[in-house]
Amino acid sequence: MTWVGWRLQRTETLIAVGILALLAALLVPTGLNMSHAYSSDHLGACLDFQRSPDCAGQVGAFRDRFQSLLDLANWFTLVPGVLGVLLAAPFVFDLEHGTYRLVWTQGITRGRWLAGKLGVALVAVVVAAGALTLLFTWWRTPESRLDGRLSNGVFDSTGVVVFGYTLFAFALALAIGAIWRRAASSVTVAFVAYFAARVFVEYKIRNSLLTPLHATWKGIKQPPFINNAIVISQRVFVHGHEVARDGGFFGGSAKVAVPSSPATQATVHFTYLPASDFWPLQLAEWGLFTGAAVLLFGFAVWWTRKRIA
């Protein structure tokens, strides 16, 4: 069954390997460049948020050089979706081409067939996700040291969430394909739905996954605790009256928009996820997507076993 599963998955797996190789061809040279620039410019010494003016120049130079590349790389957050739906395609092809009638009438039961076929695909999905997250985590190391790991660009492409995303796209394509039985359409719709789910979670769910911290800060200097943190809300009070309200991610260079006058009387209430929440937040989002993937996967298997003939 392993050979059969692999053989029927081979083309898609090789395409996935090709995509990863292409990505590596782009990321490895630029990543080497970046980490070289990072160490040769001694940016490691500038990590403290209270930077010297020298540091500002060095960090600025690094940004000027690499920011467009880093922005471009944010698009690669779509890659887990591409790989996930791609590796689900052979399962749907079986239903589309009627070959499930061939394999389900050989000597093994439908359950064993599904276990073998989806097992091989699942291994490919996990390995692909692992390769992606390793590649991106390495590539974004200088950026994550400078800006922290909670920025969307870094958070989405490093750590364990990539496994969740890839599995989710895979299971979504399986579930849609089990019902629709058209590989190209199912895979396309699954990818679009994956993208929508990612955007929704990123902008509507992520900030509420963990219980945020609250803090009050007086003055115009940027408080140390919001460095590299996700600020969910920031309310500025002057003499007890709220004068401003804001939120967002505060990377190394971001400044709080505190009114400059009468600055000394300003009190700011922060609601935020600190930089140290990276792993809890990663686990929470991984759990969200993986949980959804498990449900979709279970549905696809159930539907296929019970409803398809």
Partner 1 sequence: MSGAPAISTAGLGKRYGAKWALHDCTLEIPRGSVTALVGPNGAGKTTLLQLVIGLIQPSAGQVAVLGGAPSTKDVLPRIGFVAQDHPLYRNLTIAETFRLGRKLNERWDEAFARTRIARLGLGERQRVGKLSGGQQAQIALTLALAKRPELLVLDEPVASLDPLARREFLNAVLEAVAESEMTVVLSSHIVAELERVCDHLITLTAGRTQLAGSIAEIVASHRVLLGPRSDAGSVARMHDVIRESHTDRQTTLLVRADGHVYDSCWEQHEADLEEIVLAYLGYNPGASASRSAAVAS
| Residues near partner 1 (CB under 8 A), total | 22
Residue closer to partner 1 by CB (options 103, 244) is 103
Listed ranges 96-104, 167-175, 208-216, 236-244: which one lies at the site for partner 1 (CB under 8 A): 96-104
Candidate segments 5-13, 73-81, 179-187, 286-294, binder of partner 1 by CB under 8 A? 5-13
Joined together, the tokens standing for residue 47 give: 């990590």
User: In whole angstroms, how close is the CB of 15 to partner 1 at the nearest point?
Assistant: 13
Residue 99 engages partner 1 in binding (rule: CB under 8 A):
yes
Beta carbon nearer to partner 1, 40 or 106: 106
1 binds partner 1 (CB under 8 A): yes
Of residues 102-131, which lie at the interface with partner 1 (CB under 8 A)?
A: 102-110, 113
For partner 1, give the closer residue by CB, 264 or 309: 309
Beta bridge partners of 230: 249, 273
Task: Tell me how far, at minimum, the Cβ of 57 lies from partner 1, in Å.
Answer: 58
Q: Which of 42, 97, 218, 245 binds partner 1 (CB under 8 A)?
A: 97
Largest CA distance in the chain: 82
Residue 219-238 contact track with partner 1, rule CB under 8 A, x = bound: --------------------
98 is a contact residue toward partner 1 (CB under 8 A)? yes
Q: Output 104 or 225, the one with its CB closest to partner 1.
A: 104
| CA distance linking residue 47 with residue 42, whole number of Å | 10
Binding mask 165-184 for partner 1 (x = CB under 8 A): --------------------
From the list 3, 40, 255, 261, which residue makes contact with partner 1 (rule: CB under 8 A)?
3
In angstroms, what is the minimal distance from the CB of 280 to partner 1? 45
- In this structure, are residues 267 and 256 in contact, taking their beta carbons and an 8 Å threshold? no
Q: Which residue has the tokens 């039985």?
A: 181
Per-residue burial over 10-27, b = 16 or more CB atoms within 10 Å of its CB, e = otherwise? eebbeebeebbeebeeeb
Q: Which stretch binds partner 1 (CB under 8 A): 3-11, 144-152, 154-162, 221-229?
A: 3-11
Encoded one letter per residue, x for contact with partner 1 by CB under 8 A and - for no contact, window 53-92 reads ----------------------------------------
Q: What is the 3-state secondary structure (H, E, C) of the chain?
A: CHHHHHHHHHHHHHHHHHHHHHHHHHHHHHHHHHHHHHHHCCHHHHCCCCCCHHHHHHHHHHHHHHHHHHHHHHHHHHHHHHHHHHHHHHHHHHHHHCCHHHHCCCCCCHHHHHHHHHHHHHHHHHHHHHHHHHHHHHHCHHHHHHHCCCCHHHHHHCCCHHHHHHHHHHHHHHHHHHHHCCHHHHHHHHHHHHHHHHHHHHHHHHHHCCCCEEEEEECCCCCHHHCCEEEEEEEEEECCEEEEEEEEEECCCCCCCCCCCCHHHEEEEEEEECHHHHHHHHHHHHHHHHHHHHHHHHHHHHHHHHHCC
Please identify which residue in 36, 42, 65, 101 interacts with partner 1, judged by CB under 8 A: 101
Closest distance of CB 95 from partner 1, Å: 11
In the complex, which residues of this chain contact partner 1 (CB under 8 A)? Answer: 1, 3-4, 7-8, 11, 97-99, 101-110, 113, 306, 309
